[in-house]
Amino acid sequence: MNGRARPESHVTGDPGYGWFLPHDMPSTLISTTIQTVLEATAYNQSQIVEIPQELKDSLRKFRFARRNAGSAALVVKINKQTLKMEEVEQFDSISMEDLAEELPDASPRYVVLSYELKHDDGRTSFPLVLINWTPQGSETGLMTLHASALIAFQNTVIAGVVLTARVLNRLWKYEMAPRALRRL
């Protein structure tokens, strides 16, 4: 507004809720406006699963750790009772095959991977990759929580690439032919 207050007779709403609508606004526009406000409120409160500060600190340490060889992984799960993400385990110098064996057959996980990538010019880099591990036999409720928290976790990790794996064989193939990682 331009600093001028509207007279109370021209607005509708409860000052306790902080929203006001003009009396002469068409009803369809009012319902659209209210729907937009409700959707924005739901979006802001939609983060059901919490990412605790200690996990964020662990992710930061993992991200900036100095590596000379091999791939490292940090595995995270969602605790269904507390609705918080928890670090399950960290692995240093692990192959994709060994990592795949460590992942559960029927429970989703997020795997933050610092992947050893050898470039054609001889350089070696360690890009950060987020693997969304969603095995086919997982419980539906846990899969729903996992899917709803993926974007928030992805934004926290700030990985260059996000891969989804549902079958162990596909996870192993990323080591054999890491085409998705070559675009880094």
Q: Where in the chain is the domain with CATH 3.40.20.10?
A: 53-182
Give the tens place of pLDDT for each residue, 70-107.
889 999 999 999 999 999 999 988 888 888 889 998 89
- Residue 67 reports pLDDT greater than 50: yes
For residue 132, the cross-strand partners are: 110, 164
Q: Nearest Cα to 134, choosing from 159, 114, 162?
A: 162
Fold of 53-182: Severin (3.40.20)
pLDDT given at position 168: 63
Alpha-carbon distances of 130 from 40, 77, 158, rounded to whole Å: 28, 13, 9
> Contact at 8 Å (CB) between 65 and 114?
yes
